[in-house]
Amino acid sequence: MTDDESSDTQTPVSEETESRSQISDGAHINLPLGEAHTSAEASAITSRQRTQLVMVAGAVRSGKTTLLASLFHRFQKGPFAGLLFAGSTTLPDLDRRCHLARTSSRRTTPDTGRTRPGVPRKLLHLRLRVEDLTEGIVDVLFTDLSGEDYEAARNSPEECRGMRLIHQSDHFVLLLDGKMLTYPTKRQAAKHEAVTLLRCCVESGQLGAHSLVDVLVNKWDAVHVDDQSKRQQNIEFVEDVEQLIRDRFSKNLGRLRFFRIAARPEFPGFQLCHGLEDPLRSWTFDRPESLLERTVRITEPPLSSEFERFMQRKIPSMFADEGK
Amino acid sequence: MTSASSKHFIIGLPEAGKTTFLAALWHVVETREVEGSLVLDSFHGDQGYLHDITALWADSNKLERTKIPHEKYVSMHLRESTETVTAEVVFTDLSGESFQIQWRDRQMDIKYAKLLDESCGGLMFIHPLKVVSETLISDVNPLINRLTATEPRSAREAPDAEAPQESPDEAQWDADTSPTQVQLVDLAQFAVERCCERRDKIRIGLIVSAWDCIDSQVRPSEWVREYLPLLWQYVTANDAIDVEYFGISAQGGKLEDADELREVARTSGRCSDRIRVVLDDLSESHDITSPIRWVMGLQ
């Protein structure tokens, strides 16, 4: 993958914005197209207020775009995960991504359109607010990159380093295709792809002690088959994969968690966005800075006297480096 | 005598009930039939158009849907009947097609844009029988499976099922078929963004028209929350929006029962007796100006 970040930032925001707001004829003005944002366009959101950037990574057809479309489907049914939908600057593009899962597409099985590799428009936007309105609105930007983009990053440290959004993200979400993990002939490849991508991101410095990483085993409904014996085999393999990732990467990352989800379940017994409540709340509210603060607090040695504790409360900057 | 000026916009997709509302409103403010309603102070626009639609409404006839070439901008200046101080409210009647163009073609009529710049609130119309909701294949398939007694395939039975096959008659995404609530949120966002460039907060009156089609025990806000949850969440979550809900039947019933509607008007001598305005506390009146009074900040 080429460094699409660089090409994005080379597009002046003012020029882009200007062309979209100009009067198109004597009678109309052009409205924002509502497409996924480039990084440069997204700066208009990030500079305005608190914004969370969620990098959704994974192999081809692991369900990255489906995850985002399913969240939008879910909010169309009502509040989700204790959160209210408060708007979006990319509504038409979100709606377009939902199309193939609707009966109006005339399909009989749901699908999601493939995301093309290397597209500069890759950030989808949701504004969310906690349901009891006790906190303000949070802007959340989700990346929607193709599996091929991550394949390139997996195969080349240069490509991986070029994906600067990984480093900039508040949350790195790695999707594992749970369905693939149930196929004896494909499960090792699926595991290998996930582990290799994480390794490349860690070795290139894109992910590290500053990173909040969630590994989501998607299509959990396909793992959870009726046959008890097969189900147990599936679950054991997933547990092995999770343990492998935990053993290899947990010491390198600020936080590493595992979730089992079904963004758009095919099989009975699972609701839309199964298992996504906790991750979504975390992506909306948890910030790497707060994790770092917690780490400092946990690792710092106990202060020896009440006076030192008092001093720390009064002049926290004096003690900022302790415990690192 | 105008001492204050406030402008208000109207949002509504095609056949949302805007024109019927306007016809009934014109009748009420001009005739002053409804006690306590706002009254007409002055007026700008095509009075002939208003008289035409009001005459059709008064006789319980179907009003033709407004087409863009016949789009009429109507400006009414209303005030409280008992007050000497008047407030000015400017209404714009737009065809629903122009709102579809905003969503589909991403273009906004420049006169509407200027109105938004000057507005401090507006009314959004929703027709309960015209709401298009999304239906997910994944919601429908289990029902079909149950009806046809088909067991869902297991993942192991379909090892290559990771790539769903294309349907031969698959339809392309068409913005016109997008769910009503998605379109309305986008239209509201455009309005709020422009209005709030000059003010912190705007008032939006959400009007569910043809309220006679709705169960009488349901509050308008409950109906919106149930049938347009995305829109409900949007207006609830945004502090820049002060929202109030109204259920309004400007015709007073179904046009198939036009004879009964005409009888109501004939018996009382007031066409406005047909009008039903339901507030969110389920109180009812014939005062079709109450949403305007609310967006004007008079209550």
A227 touches chain B (CB under 8 A): yes
A29: chain B residues, CB-CB within 8 Å: 107-108, 110, 113
A-B contacts at Cβ under 8 angstroms: 162
Q: Do B164 and A91 touch (CB under 8 A)?
A: no
A59: chain B residues, CB-CB within 8 Å: none
B186 touches chain A (CB under 8 A): yes
Closest-approach residue (CA) in chain B for A269: B142
Nearest to B106 among A30, A223, A266 (CB): A30
In this prediction, residue A101 carries a pLDDT of 93
Task: For residue A15, name the pLDDT band (cuts at 50, 70, 90).
Answer: very low
Distance, in Å, from the CA atom of A135 to the CA atom of B233, rounded to the nearest integer, reads 15
The mean pLDDT value for B250-272 works out to 75
Q: Which of A111-115, A209-213, B151-155, B199-203 has the lowest mean pLDDT?
A: B151-155
In this prediction, residue A6 carries a pLDDT of 38
The mean pLDDT value for A171-199 works out to 95
Q: Do B185 and A185 touch (CB under 8 A)?
A: no
Nearest to A111 among B111, B164, B229 (CB): B164
C-alpha distances (whole Å) from A312 to each of A67, A196, A296, A300, A316 are: 44, 43, 13, 12, 5
- Candidates B136, B145, B231: best to mutate against A (most CBs of A within 10 A) is B136
Give CA torsion, residues B278, B284, B286, B289, to 10 deg: -50
A residues 229-268 closer than 8 Å to B (CB)? 230, 264-268
A82 touches chain B (CB under 8 A): no
In this prediction, residue B21 carries a pLDDT of 92
Confidence check: pLDDT of A321 > 50: no
In this prediction, residue B188 carries a pLDDT of 97
Tens-place pLDDT, residues A78-92: 999 999 999 999 999
Q: Answer with the residue of higher pLDDT: A146 or B252.
A: A146
User: What's the complex ipTM?
Assistant: 0.90
B residues 217-246 closer than 8 Å to A (CB)? 225, 229-230, 233-234, 236-239
Token pair of A255 as six digits = 């936080």
Mean per-residue pLDDT of chain B? 85
In this prediction, residue A4 carries a pLDDT of 42
Tens-place pLDDT, residues A243-291: 999 999 999 999 999 999 999 998 888 999 999 999 999 999 999 987 6
In this prediction, residue B158 carries a pLDDT of 47
In this prediction, residue B169 carries a pLDDT of 83
Confidence check: pLDDT of A319 > 90: no
In this prediction, residue A5 carries a pLDDT of 41
Chain A: give the shortest CA distance to residue B119, in Å.
Answer: 18
The mean pLDDT value for B252-276 works out to 76
A76 touches chain B (CB under 8 A): yes
Chain A: give the shortest CA distance to residue B255, in Å.
Answer: 30
- Candidates A64, A107, A133, A272: best to mutate against B (most CBs of B within 10 A) is A107
The mean pLDDT value for A207-236 works out to 94
B297 touches chain A (CB under 8 A): no
The mean pLDDT value for A166-178 works out to 95
Q: Answer with the residue of higher pLDDT: A315 or A101.
A: A101
Q: Answer with the residue of higher pLDDT: B164 or B239.
A: B239
Tens-place pLDDT, residues A18-63: 344 455 667 889 999 999 999 889 988 888 888 999 999 999 999 9
In this prediction, residue B6 carries a pLDDT of 80
Q: Do A77 and B229 touch (CB under 8 A)?
A: yes
DSSP code of residue B241: E
Confidence check: pLDDT of A307 > 60: no
A87: chain B residues, CB-CB within 8 Å: 185, 189, 234, 237-238
Confidence check: pLDDT of B67 > 80: no
Task: For residue B70, name the pLDDT band (cuts at 50, 70, 90).
Answer: low
Percent of chain A with pLDDT over 70: 82
Q: Do B173 and A110 touch (CB under 8 A)?
A: no
Confidence check: pLDDT of A196 > 60: yes
In this prediction, residue A13 carries a pLDDT of 36
Closest-approach residue (CA) in chain B for A110: B137
In this prediction, residue A58 carries a pLDDT of 95
Residues in chain B: 299
In this prediction, residue B89 carries a pLDDT of 65
Mean per-residue pLDDT of chain A? 85
Task: For residue B201, name the pLDDT band (cuts at 50, 70, 90).
Answer: very high
A residues 277-316 closer than 8 Å to B (CB)? none
Task: For residue B225, name the pLDDT band (cuts at 50, 70, 90).
Answer: very high
B173: chain A residues, CB-CB within 8 Å: 95-96, 99, 105
In this prediction, residue B218 carries a pLDDT of 96
Q: Which of A29-33, A197-201, B265-269 has the lowest mean pLDDT?
A: B265-269
In this prediction, residue B277 carries a pLDDT of 96
In this prediction, residue B75 carries a pLDDT of 82
Confidence check: pLDDT of B233 > 90: yes
The mean pLDDT value for A296-315 works out to 49
B190: chain A residues, CB-CB within 8 Å: 31
Confidence check: pLDDT of B88 > 80: no
Task: For residue A16, name the pLDDT band (cuts at 50, 70, 90).
Answer: very low
Q: Do A76 and B134 touch (CB under 8 A)?
A: yes
Token pair of B96 as six digits = 């629903």
Confidence check: pLDDT of B163 > 70: no
C-alpha distances (whole Å) from B254 to each of A179, B51, B209, B258, B274 are: 52, 22, 12, 7, 11
Confidence check: pLDDT of B71 > 90: no
Tens-place pLDDT, residues B13-44: 999 998 899 899 999 998 999 999 998 988 88
In this prediction, residue B236 carries a pLDDT of 98
A96: chain B residues, CB-CB within 8 Å: 173
Task: For residue B52, name the pLDDT band (cuts at 50, 70, 90).
Answer: confident
Which of A112-116, A273-277, B132-136 has the largest mean confidence? Answer: A273-277
B residues 63-82 closer than 8 Å to A (CB)? none
Distance, in Å, from the CA atom of A197 to the CA atom of A154, rounded to the nearest integer, reads 5
